[in-house]
Every structure is written in C-alpha cells, then in structure tokens.
Amino acid sequence: MLARTPPPPYYAVVFCSVRSPDDAEGYTAAAERMMELAAAQPGYLGVDSARETVGITVSYWQNLEAIAAWRAHAEHTEVRRRGRERWYSAFELRVARVERAYSFGAQAPGAP
C-alpha cells in the first residue's frame, strides 16, 4: 500500500495541489492514465498519493535524468497543460533528493 523504494539516495517529486471545481471526470481519467504511464517509465521507483482539501502525490525516481525524461514525455506534457488550464487552481511541485529513509511495519519497503 505504501511505495517500496530502494535505499537512498534517489529522488522524490512532491506535487501538492488544490483542484478547481471543474471537470472531475476528465481529471480522474487523466490522473489514472498518468499513474499508469509514469509507472512504465525508466527510472520510476514508485508513488504515494492522497487527496483531501489538498492533494499530495509523491513519485520516486532513480535520478534527475529519469525525472527530466518523464517531464519531456509528450502525453505527460499535454496533460500538464490541461492541468494548468482546467483542473488546478494552484499547485507547487518540488524536486528533492532523498538522503535518508526509515521504515516501520509490515508494509514497509523490503518486507516480505
């Protein structure tokens, strides 16, 4: 249920957003498609995601080159454009280098 990632270092893309009230159906379909497509990219390590008032999606990547390639993906680029036009009232995207990680519990990375 939680993303299982290898030992650091690796990268996290932290995407925090506030949805506009528009086009819930189009947004959901695009979000599901992007999850599928991201998971098929080289260097993808996993994702965690939750939404209440604010939505947070954290995707994990082997290195900055993998993040740059995913950013340049044509379908992803088009979906980002629609996101700015229609689906989000605000977002903040952060690219961060994971330096330390600590797991607890049965669903932690590396657990059977």
Cα-flanking dihedrals φ and ψ of residue 58, to 5°?
Answer: -115, 115
DSSP letter for each residue of 27-84: HHHHHHHHHHHHHTSTTEEEEEEEESSSEEEEEEESSHHHHHHHHH-HHHHHHHHHII
Q: Within 36-95, which residues bind a copy of itself (CB under 8 A)? A: 48-56, 58, 84, 88-95
C-beta of 25 vs 110, nearer to a copy of itself? 110
The pair of structure tokens assigned to 5 is 């990632």
Please identify, among the stretches 5-13, 22-30, 33-41, the one whose residues bind a copy of itself according to the rule CB under 8 A. 5-13
Q: How far is the CB of 69 from a copy of itself (least distance, A)?
A: 16
Residue ranges binding a copy of itself (CB under 8 A): 1-3, 5, 8, 12, 14, 16-18, 48-56, 58, 84, 88-109
